[in-house]
Amino acid sequence: MNEERFLSLFLRHERELAGVARACLPTWDAVDDVLQESSLVMWRKIDQLRADDEFLPWAKVILRFEILKYRRALSRDRLLLDDELVALIAAEEPSPAADLHAQRRSAVEHCLGEFTAEHQTLLLAPYTRDDAVKSIAAAAGKTANSLYKRLGRLRTKLHNCVRIRLGMPT
């Protein structure tokens, strides 16, 4: 298989592979890292692939092993899904829910883009560290309580924007 064909197949299935990885990994950064590492392994083992229609199952096997390797490295940091569940998720066929998830993610990303950088930082702060909002408050000379109130209002705006973007009533 040549470089062009491999790249075409990988790009065609990248979103599905990312979906499998996201179901098994804690962050999108982890998904990016594992997908990059998986693509390198796939590239090195491309001679194993015989036909285009074998690409996705073959890629999922490689991805699964890379996910497990990454999870072993993180196992001291967080509670993660057990290996059997990762295997089940990786083997699962895509569902209509996956398309809805992609639409929601796209809507959230679009709506987040409408906020200022300061508001984006505040909206994402609770998902980065446990004390992120308190740190932001201390740096800005404000109380954590006032920032949590602002965060609540921003979340409501984000929620309404996403619902409108998805064609749902607010």
Q: How many CA atoms are closer than 13 Å to the CA of 43, on its beta-carbon side? A: 11
CA–CA separation, 52 and 74 (whole Å):
33
82 with 139, same domain?
no
pLDDT in tens, 40-81: 999 999 888 888 889 999 999 999 999 999 888 876 655 556
Residues in the chain predicted with pLDDT less than 50, given as ranges, are none
Q: Give the pLDDT score at 73.
A: 80
Range of the domain at 42: 3-91
The answer to whether residue 103 is domain-embedded is: yes
**Based on the domain organization, do 56 and 132 belong to the same domain?**
no
Q: What are φ and ψ of residue 92, in 5° steps?
A: -65, 145
pLDDT of res. 49: 85
The answer to whether the beta carbons of residues 101 and 72 sit under 8 Å apart is no
